Amino acid sequence: MPDSKRFLHPEAIKRIGRLEIRARHIVEGFLSGMHRSPYFGQSVEFLQHREYVPGDDLRHVDWQVWARQDRLYVKQYEEDTNLRCYLVVDVSGSMQYGEGTWTKYEYGCTAAASLAYLLLKQQDAVGCVTFDQSIRSKVPPSSRRNHIMSVVQALDQQSPDNKTQLLDVFRHVAETFPRRGMMIVVSDLFADPQSTIKGLRLLRQRGHDVMVFHIMDDDELDFPFNGPTRFEDFESDAHLNCNPRALRDGYLAALDEFLEQMRHGCAKNTVDYALIRTGDPLDAVLAHYLSNRLGMHHRN
């Protein structure tokens, strides 16, 4: 049994529970009075087949296809238009870093689980994708209350490894989840910035409302190291023996340039971007961010 308490910190969830998440733009879904839908009236028209993934409702399995091809596909209907939120969580090697209480991986997964719980509580559908240089696991969106266990299980059973390759992952996600929804990316974004932005643009072009939670460790932002240090890369064999005091300014300059690129790229593609330090309290960060989104919704 997955340790659901690992990421669902009650105090954090209690504080978020008083808030309502609002879609900032046009989202698909028709949860009563809560979300605007681009569609007119309800529909039960068949949209497409999709390969079965664990967690899919067996009622939607197309048994005829199974009988003919011996493969499990589920039928997707257009009337399934609740808010669909896809949690795209980075589990690459670089997310292992963390000198404090949490690693970036733990912090990101906690944030994703908290959001999933919140969305499920308001009857929205939540799916989850973990990735490194490829998709590691997928949980299709569902609005069932016990779906949270599937999400948590998908997050918990991963061990961070390999490099990060966001463009391919985003392309795959966009193809896997063609229906528009909210795409929450939780990652340190340690990949080629241009391809990352290109991937985000692709998601936006598919109509997703994209939010990027950029998880960074305090050490990565402040670089407080002193004394001779040997730095070894998580995702490769690269290493560097140096006096970090001497390289700090150059490091911070390069990091600032990277962050600036990401902020600029997100803003340019209308992607919500939030830089989150692992040292900051998670509940306060989520509460503040979601309050901000609500405020923006009212202004719109």
Partner 1 sequence: MFENIFSSSPWMWSGWIAGLVLLPILIHLINMLRHRRVRWAAMEFLLKSHKKHRNWVWLKQWLLLASRIAILLLILFMLGQVGCHDQKLAGLLGGRVSHHYVLVDDSFSMSDSAAGASAMDHARETLAFIAGRARGRDNQRFTVLRFSRAAEAAAAAPEATALNEDPGAELTATTHAEQLVGPVADMNAQLVDSQFDQAIEQVRGNLQVSNLSTGPLESLRLVHQLIENRSSEKPLVYVVSDFRAKDWAPAPAVQQVIERLADLDTELELINCVKAPRPNLAITELAPVGSIRVAGIPLMMQIEIKNFGQTIARKVQVGLTSAAYPAETANTDPAAVEPELEDLPTILIDEIPAGESAVRRFPIFFSRPGQHAVKATLQTDSVPIDNHCWSVTQFNAVAKVLLVGGSDLNPTQYLSLAISPNRMTGIEPVPGTKATLRDAAPNDLDQYESIILADVDQLDESAVSNLTGYVQRGGGVIFFGGPNVNLRHYNDVLYRDGNGLFPLALEKVAVIPDPLEQGVPDIVPRDHPVFAPMLGIKNSPLDLVQIKQVLQPLPSDDPELRVAATARGNRRLPLVVDRKFGNGRVMAVLTTADPQWNNWSRNGTFPAVLLLMHEYVSAGRHAQPRRLVGESISYELAIDQYRPEITFVAPAANSEGTQVPAWEDRATWQVTAETRPSQANGNWTARLGGSSGETSRPGIYESWLQSNATGMQVSRMALNVDTSESDLNIAARQPLIDALSAANPTFIQWDEFQPETVRNRSTSLAKLLLVLLLIGLVLEQLLAWSASYHPKPTGPGLKSQLKQSARWSRQQAA
Is 163 a binding residue for partner 1 by CB under 8 A? The answer is no
Q: How far is 44 from 80, CA to CA, in rounded Å?
A: 8
Contact with partner 1 (CB under 8 A): which of 5, 18, 230, 298?
230
The site that binds partner 1 (CB under 8 A) totals a number of residues, namely: 63
Is 236 a binding residue for partner 1 by CB under 8 A? The answer is yes
Contact with partner 1 (CB under 8 A): which of 51, 57, 79, 280?
280
Contact with partner 1 (CB under 8 A): which of 203, 217, 283, 286?
217
Q: How far is 126 from 119, CA to CA, in rounded Å?
A: 7
Residue type, 226: N
Contact with partner 1 (CB under 8 A): which of 241, 261, 278, 282?
241
Q: Which is nearer to partner 1, 1 or 238 (CB)?
A: 238
Contact with partner 1 (CB under 8 A): which of 261, 274, 286, 290?
274
Token look-up 């808030």 returns: 19
How many other CB atoms sit within 10 Å of the CB of residue 30?
Answer: 17
User: Interaction with partner 1 in 93-122: which residues (CB under 8 A)?
Assistant: 93-97, 104
144 exposure class (CB count in 10 Å sphere: 0-12, 13-18, 19+): middle
Taking the complex as a whole, the smallest distance from the CB of residue 193 to partner 1 amounts, in Å, to: 10
Radius of gyration from C-alpha coordinates of the chain: 20
Which residues, 6+ apart, have CB-to-CB distance to 173 below 8 Å?
A: 86, 88, 129, 135, 183, 203
Give the CB-side neighbour count of residue 207, counting CA atoms within 13 A.
Answer: 13
Which residues contact partner 1 (rule: CB under 8 A)? 93-97, 104, 188, 190, 217, 220, 222-236, 238, 240-251, 253-255, 258, 263, 266-267, 270-277, 280-281, 284-285, 288-289, 292, 296, 299-300
